Amino acid sequence: MLDRLRNAFQILSRDADVEAALKEVQRALLSADVDVQTVLQLTKEIKEAEIPKGVPKSQYVTKLLFDKLVEILGGHRREFPVVPQRIMLLGLYGSGKTTTAAKLGHWLQKRGLKVLLVAADTHRPGAYDQLKQLAEQANLGFFGIKGEKDPVKIVEEAMKQRADVYIVDTAGRTTLDDELIEEVKRIRDVLIPDKILLVIPADMGQAAGREARRFKEEVGVDGVIITKMDGSGKGGGAISACFNTGVPVYFIGTGEHIRDFDVFDAKRFVSNILGVPDIKKLMELAKETEIKPEDILEGPYDINKFYAQLAATRNMGPIDKVLQMLGIASVPKEVKKMTEEKFKKYDAIYKSMTKYERSHPEVLKNPSRIRRIARGSGTTEEDVKAFLRDFKRSEKLIKKFKNKRYLKKMEKMLAQGNLQGLM
């Protein structure tokens, strides 16, 4: 789906055949399980649109197509309340509820709330241990009664614990049967949740709408979290189907890590598909790293600071996701592998340097020091030289950042969304 949509917009950007671009859009949406009627209606409206005088057809169609895709995929962003609350998660087997409980808890904790994860799935073997482990990894509160078969009793006891937010992980089934409905209703009546969130995997495609509708009718659903968005071409179909059901999509899970969890914004989602830089998301991730700009800019710039920058970048997530936020839509596997290997090499090289060398990089002009570092790190002399060249480039850029006129220019470029002027 994603490659076809990007291809369609590339056709339009070249002022090429609009009809060919629309056919590519149709194929992309249908392959993502967006219902046929919605796809046909979209292309019909675009074809029948009146082009304003003086505006190139391809340019107008590009804007119209972007707006229509945003509309199909959920319209305006739904703000999730960051307040003390009780949250109940629903979903079938394999939807990713337990992992999502920890991701949502981590997201709320980052915004200043004390979170308690409640293990109320008494059916799936290992559910208790998995949630407990995830809670420990994310430094979240956890409550469960191992061996207890009645989830209602677990929830009742959990509510006696002190927390701002209670997130209850419930059991699933292969299908929404009477037994599951009865169980979650009993939990709901005891918990009295502020939000009931349905967790649905992206690969359900259009079927996600049917599940959302059934859960909404039987139990009540306030919103949806779409999981497994990292590798599924059906993600657009799942989002569209839920939107058409009248259930807003609040979040999407984009990977296995606890931080691979984003507020769903249809405009941002479509922009990401098309390779538009997501500077806002990049800045949000940068804020979560321990390094601060003043730590780098103040005082002399040395290899310790360079390494801290590398580590901070790595902590922001896999390099392909960071590049995607910069507008590089797809990263070849070989490039991704090469970049990760480079990180590992640089880590070993840094650790093979003495404290004096790290704070006095000028001494590394000495060939014997380079040979010693290469041997100690298990790399080549050329690898060490590459490390030092990258350090020099970074040092040069830091000097620019220290220049007030350059900083003003950068602020202006970012405000305009123009990154080319910074290159």
Decide which of 400 and 197 is more confident: 197
Q: Which residues touch 114 (CB under 8 Å, ≥6 apart)?
A: 141, 162, 163, 164, 165
Residue with tokens 């945003």: 70
- For 345-359, the three-class secondary structure string (H helix, E strand, C coil) is HHHHHHHCCCHHHHH
Please indicate whether residue 251 or residue 232 has the higher confidence score (pLDDT): 251
Rounded CA-CA distance 243/266 in Å is 11
Helix (H) or strand (E) holding 88: strand 85-90
d(CA 238, CA 221): 16
CATH architecture group of domain 2-72: Up-down Bundle (1.20)
pLDDT, one tens digit per residue, over 20-79 is 888 888 887 787 667 788 788 888 888 888 888 877 777 788 788 888 888 877 777 778
Cβ–Cβ under 8 Å, residues 30 and 39: yes
- Mean pLDDT (the chain) is 80
From start to end of 145-280, where are the E strands? 165-170, 195-201, 223-227, 249-253, 261-263
Q: Please list the residues that pair with 166 across neighbouring strands.
A: 86, 116
User: Residue for token digits 């299908």?
Assistant: 175
Q: Do 116 and 165 touch, CB atoms closer than 8 A?
A: yes
Q: Which H or E run includes 89?
A: strand 85-90
Q: What's residue 419's pLDDT?
A: 40
Instruction: Considering only residues 391 and 108, tell me which one the structure prediction assigns the higher pLDDT.
Output: 108
Average pLDDT of the residues in 242-271: 83
pTM of structure: 0.64
In this model, does residue 121 exceed pLDDT 90? Answer: yes
Residues sharing a CB contact under 8 Å with residue 18, sequence separation 6 or more, in sequence order: 12, 57, 58, 61
Whether the per-residue pLDDT at 211 is higher than 80: the answer is yes
Residue 75 one-letter amino acid? G
Give the best-scoring range by mean pLDDT among 1-15, 65-79, 103-117, 404-418. 103-117
pLDDT value of residue 366:
93
56 contacts 187 by C-beta, under 8 angstroms: no
Superfamily covering domain 279-422:
Signal recognition particle, SRP54 subunit, M-domain (1.10.260.30)
Task: Please report the DSSP string for 102-159 in residue order.
Answer: HHHHHHHHTTT--EEEEEE--SSTTHHHHHHHHHHHTT-EEE--TT---HHHHHHHHT
CA dist 72 and 228 (Å) reads 20
Q: Where are the domains of the chain?
A: 2-72, 85-273, 279-422
pLDDT at residue 198 greater than cutoff 70: yes
List, in order, residues 6 or more apart from 285 with CB less than 8 Å away.
259, 316, 317, 322, 325
When the candidates are 3.40.720.10, 3.40.50.300, 2.130.10.10, 3.50.50.60, the CATH number that belongs to 85-273 is 3.40.50.300
